[in-house]
Amino acid sequence: MERTHELLTGERVNLSDLSADERDFLQRLSDDATRGVEYFELLRRVKGPDALPLRGGRLTPEVLRTTFFRAAHDIADRAGIEQGFLLTPEVAQTARVERVGDLLSLTEAAELIGITRPAAHQALLEKRLRGQRVGNAWVVRRRDAEEFARSRRSRSAS
């Protein structure tokens, strides 16, 4: 692992003061991001329950300022951009919120598909609809909800 890491903001952070365990964590996270491990899994490793960067605690302003957390979160965010879950900082600054809308809540996805929220939840559990848990909520990519709706229409037309 390199001794510095350039954040999406362009700032370079020095990794040489990190422990061997922290550098190993960042290397594994980076390797997994390169292999295409999904953004939400990477993010869970960075700030989910038992995440090493949180040291078994909560996300606090002190944790947010650490080089370790900032580098780990940056690696996950880069994967999120690559996978279409996040906008690049440049685009995010100029995009209108109405145009972003790639991630939908479960309720929004159900409305787009034309089914009830419980039916959408059941489709997620049965893996007929792609989505991810974020904390205690589900999110669905707009394109996955639209594809699910198209497949339902084509099945009902046959």
pLDDT of residue 136: 62
Q: List the single range of 28-37, 41-50, 86-95, 144-153 with lowest mean pLDDT.
A: 86-95
Mean pLDDT of the chain, nearest integer? 85
**Residue 133 backbone dihedrals phi, psi, to 5 degrees:** -85, 135
pLDDT of residue 95: 44
pLDDT of residue 91: 55
- Alpha carbon distances (Å) from 124 to 90, 112, 128, 129, 148: 33, 15, 6, 5, 11
> Quick one: pLDDT band at residue 76, thresholds 50, 70, 90?
very high
How far apart CA 92 and CA 88 sit, in angstroms, is 6
pTM for this entry: 0.61
pLDDT tens string 115-132: 998 999 999 999 999 998
CB atoms within 10 A of CB 83: 16
Range 101-157 has CATH code 1.10.1660? yes
Q: What is the largest CA-CA distance in the chain?
A: 63
Domain spans of the chain, in order of start:
4-91, 101-157
In this predicted structure, the answer to whether residue 87 has a pLDDT above a threshold of 70 is: no
pLDDT of residue 153: 86
User: 141 - beta bridge partners?
Assistant: 103
